[in-house]
Chains A and B, each alone.
Chain A
Amino acid sequence: MTYILGISAFYHDSAACIISDGKIVAAAQEERFTRVKHDAGYPKNAVEFVLNYANLKLSDLDHIVFFEKPFLKFERLLETYVAFAPKGFVQFSKAMPTWLRDKLFQKKQLMDHLKEHDNKFRDEKKLHFSEHHLSHAASAFYPSPFEEAIVLTADGVGEWATTTVAIGSGKNLEIKKEIQFPHSLGLLYSAFTYYTGFKVNSGEYKLMGLAPYGEPKYFDLIKNNLIDIKPDGTFRLDQSYFDYATGLKMTNSKFNNLFGQKERNSKFEKLTQFHMDIAASIQKITEEIMLNLSKSLQEEFNIKNLCLAGGVALNCVANGKILKEKIFENIWVQPAAGDAGGSLGAALAYWHLELMKDREIIKTDSMKGSYLGPEYNEEDIERELNEIGAKYKKLKDDEIYEKTTECLINGDAVGWFQGRMEFGPRALGARSILGDPRSENMQKILNLKVKYRESFRPFAPSVLENEVKNWFDIDKTSPYMLMVANINEDKVIKMNKEEEKLFGIEKLNIKRSTIPAVTHVDYSARIQTVNQNTNQRYFNLISKFNEKTGCPVLINTSFNVRGEPIVNTPKDAFNCFMGTELDTLVIGNFFLEKINQNKSLKKDYKNSFELD
């Protein structure tokens, strides 16, 4: 057996994974253990977990692969500062201390950290460095069910590349072309995230969620000034509007002047229709680029499969558009498309490209539904619950589905904690908060009383895989919640003339379909199809709900509050349960009701996490 540890760290979303003879064994993000969202530190806990899960010591590993090349990144930084000099001095003076102190010596730094797991570890030759976008591409292609595919990666920036095109065939994966910094679709989207007052590198989802409330009024303005989009989807950004290459912000005053107002300060300023229109405009630009890129690549390479990774691949609305246009027969998106997935890609790239090992294509799901994190057995759960002082009932499997369904029908918000934790940013029914999608109030209740987040934010549906066609306009599976499609016409409730006149967020109060809680204002939904083979318990629960209600759909949102990483342990789940207005908590076969809990265990949970 050959064991490879993959690590991504030091920027955002640090993570670790282990593969054994090319098979994915375990993977987890550091934030889940440290409870610091997007934790960028060395993933000590995640490495410890994957080693323990695989029952290995550090010395048992054959190779350790870091997800990118620090020297190449340093080269990009220096060349950028030279190119923009003297303009970039402010950023230069911030970046250099970090680099000269730590990041330039990442090999030594990594070796030192690895010694935290085993102080006898000296084998520097086991440590290798992949390339950022090769790691992304590998994470998208190797676990996919395709023999051959075009692999498109797009994010903020890695070393030099911001967008790459690779061709994967069997065990081979070759990057064919790339767009380099400072021209970046990810950074363009982040610039608008910043401009609309959301946190860069975490608020991009909010911007995407906000887009359907607006009209793309600024589409032409952006296209005529900020970005030059070629017919093949490649692009150049006019750097005179952006500050990120040289300064400490994403945009500058010229950018503000173009749109006629300054960037929003989320502490003092509310979201207005202007911000919604801006969101709609940048979303449309993103979709145009992704669609044009997809079309031109399909024509150039004539390959029927597409794999996607990189932060931009988390833009599930754009993914849904590519799917709907039927440019490719099949699309597969890496569920940990952000930098966390780089750890997995780095390990897989080393296995197939350096060790030249053949690839076994698994048609079902080699990512195992992305359930690659820690799990807790009955004893662990019971011990933790007893230690905390939780009041619980232990039920049989059938009773769990029955009782949970009853609670859901009664309008409860249910914390659902089962099996192995998800790898990647989406909760997929292992660490989820669930609700009844037929309820008209559920979106507001969950946003304001459970998640403590903005009322405009949509919720996603989980639907039984075999029922998806009956409810949504999609003919493919979407197991990782990375595709958006419209609700079927027969489920839509048409707006009357008065309702149609409503603008933006006012539309939220209208019942838009028979499953209003998961129907966005443009009748779209971010779909997760649930398969019996990858998550039996979640499948059983939705089946029971379907049996009782005729609705094979549940609201599925991540088990956390705004700004908090998704819960990892039963204790995390209990704390979140007690700190929010969740009514019911189900951990394995343990059933907990809020009314039975000791009130003194309630916490001021809302303010425990920095808002994102």
Chain B
Amino acid sequence: MSFLIEFWNFIKVRKKYWLLPIIIVLLIFGGLIVLSQGSAVAPFIYTIF
């Protein structure tokens, strides 16, 4: 819960309300996405994410 409050505060401070729909969709599909393993992509790219 504290995470959601902090994230909402962040959105408010940054005034990035338009990101909300994307984040909500991401959270809805979050389970699926989390289950698909991210794989190591180094050394072909700088660790930008």
Most-contacted residue by chain B among A71, A82, A95 (CB, 10 A)? A71
Mask of B23-48 contacts with A, CB within 8 angstroms, 1/0: 10011001001111111011111111
- Whether B34 pairs with A97 at a CB distance below 8 angstroms is yes
A97 touches B10 (CB 8 A): no
Across-interface contacts of B27 in A (CB, < 8 A): 100
User: In the assembly, what is the distance between CA of A536 and CA of B8, in Å?
Assistant: 54
Q: For the complex, count residues of A whose C-beta is within 8 A of B.
A: 44
When A107-B6, A248-B41 are in contact, do A79 and B47 touch as well, CB less than 8 Å? no
Give A228-253 as 1s and 0s: 1 = Cβ < 8 Å from B's Cβ atoms. Answer: 00000000000000011101111000
List chain B residues, Cβ under 8 A from A248: 41, 44-45
Residue of A nearest to B19 (CB): A78
With A71-B7, A75-B16, A78-B23 as known contacts, state yes or no: A100 contacts B34, CB within 8 Å.
yes
**A75 and B19: CB pair below 8 A?**
yes
Chain A contact residues: over half helix, strand or loop, or mixed?
Answer: helix
A249:B44 contact, CB within 8 angstroms: yes
Task: Please determine whether B36 and A100 come into contact, CB atoms closer than 8 angstroms.
Answer: no
A94, A96, A105, A187: the one within 8 Å of B46 (CB): A187
Distance of A108 Cα from B4 Cα, bound (Å): 12
What is the interface residue range for chain B against chain A? 20 to 34
Beta-carbon contact of A79 and B19 below 8 Å: yes
Our pick among A94, A190, A203 for the contact of B38 (Cβ within 8 Å) is A94
Contact B19 A98 (CB under 8 A): no
Asked whether, in the complex, the Cβ of B48 is within 8 Å of the Cβ of A100, the reply is no
Q: Which residues of B contact A77 (CB under 8 A)?
A: 49
Contacts of A82 in B (CB 8 A): 22
Minimum CB distance partner of A249 in chain B: B44
Report whether B22 and A78 are in contact in the complex, using a CB–CB cutoff of 8 Å: yes
With beta carbons under 8 angstroms apart, the residue of B10, B34, B41, B47 that contacts A11 is B47
- Contact partner, A71, options B10, B41, B44, Cβ 8 Å: B10
Q: Say yes or no: A12-B33 contact (C-beta < 8 A), given A94-B41, A97-B38.
A: no
Which A residues have a C-beta under 8 Å from some C-beta of B?
A: 11-12, 40, 71-73, 75, 77-79, 82, 91, 93-101, 104-105, 107-108, 156-157, 181, 186-187, 190, 194, 199-203, 243-245, 247-250
- CB-CB nearest 8 A-B residue pairs: A95-B49, A199-B43, A97-B38, A98-B38, A71-B10, A156-B46, A11-B47, A249-B44
A-B contact pairs, 23 of them (CB 8 A): A71-B7, A72-B14, A78-B19, A78-B22, A79-B19, A93-B33, A94-B41, A94-B49, A97-B37, A97-B38, A100-B30, A100-B33, A156-B46, A157-B46, A187-B48, A194-B44, A194-B45, A199-B42, A199-B43, A200-B42, A243-B45, A244-B48, A249-B45
- 18 additional A-B pairs beyond A71-B7, A78-B19, A249-B44, beta carbons within 8 Å, are A71-B10, A73-B49, A79-B19, A91-B49, A94-B49, A95-B38, A97-B33, A97-B37, A100-B30, A101-B34, A105-B3, A157-B46, A187-B48, A201-B43, A243-B45, A248-B44, A248-B45, A250-B44
